[in-house]
Structures are given as C-alpha cells and as structure tokens.
C-alpha cells in the first residue's frame, strides 16, 4: 500500500477519534478532505482492477477458443 493512502487512513481515524473524544475540536472540513482523498484513491484502484479483469477475460476467451499448442508456431 502506498505511503499516501496509509497516511490518509491514519488521518481519518485521528479525525474519528477527535470526534468521539471531543466534538468541539473536530475539524469537519479536514475530515471531509481526507475522506475525499481516500475515496479518490479507491476509485482509481477500482478502475484499474476493472481494466485488469477485462484484460484477463479477453485472454481467457482467446484461450478457450482452442488448445494453446495448436496456436504455437515453433521455428
């Protein structure tokens, strides 16, 4: 996991702790910025995962079309 997301996660739990222990010192704006940062990172990871799954599915469909040995040309 990258250092950036790890820092965001640590920060979000600090804000939650602050909210639970002393609501008056809770910084809503900073909390929301941190939350949005985490959300953006996870969205990017999800998109990458979806692309990776799509590529894997494409490979699988090509492999299912016939034995690999019939497609390999040895010279």
**pLDDT tens digits along 9-30:** 899 888 988 899 988 888 999 9
Res 67: pLDDT: 63
Instruction: Kindly state whether residue 48 falls inside one of the protein's structural domains.
Output: yes
Instruction: Give the global pTM.
Output: 0.62
Q: How far apart are CA 61 and CA 12, in angstroms?
A: 42
Instruction: Kindly state whether residue 23 falls inside one of the protein's structural domains.
Output: yes
C-alpha dist (Å) from residue 28 to 24, 25, 37, 50, 67: 10, 9, 14, 32, 58
Burial of 34 (0-12, 13-18, 19+ CB in 10 A): buried
Contact between 12 and 31 under an 8 Å Cβ cutoff? The reply is yes
- Between these two residues, 7 and 33, which has the higher pLDDT value? 33
Res 66: pLDDT: 72
Instruction: Kindly state whether residue 18 falls inside one of the protein's structural domains.
Output: yes
State how many domains the chain has: 1
Contact between 26 and 15 under an 8 Å Cβ cutoff? The reply is yes
Res 54: pLDDT: 86
DSSP for residue 65: T
Instruction: Kindly state whether residue 75 falls inside one of the protein's structural domains.
Output: no
Contact between 26 and 18 under an 8 Å Cβ cutoff? The reply is yes
Instruction: Kindly state whether residue 38 falls inside one of the protein's structural domains.
Output: yes
Range of the domain at 20: 3-70
């Amino acid at each position: 996991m990258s250092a950036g997301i790890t820092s965001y996660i640590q920060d979000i739990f600090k804000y939650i702790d602050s909210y639970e222990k002393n609501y008056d010192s809770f910084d809503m704006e900073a909390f929301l910025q941190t939350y949005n940062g985490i959300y953006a990172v996870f969205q990017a990871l999800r998109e990458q995962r979806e692309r990776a799954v799509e590529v894997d599915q494409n490979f699988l469909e090509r492999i299912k079309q016939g034995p690999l040995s019939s497609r390999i040309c040895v010279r």
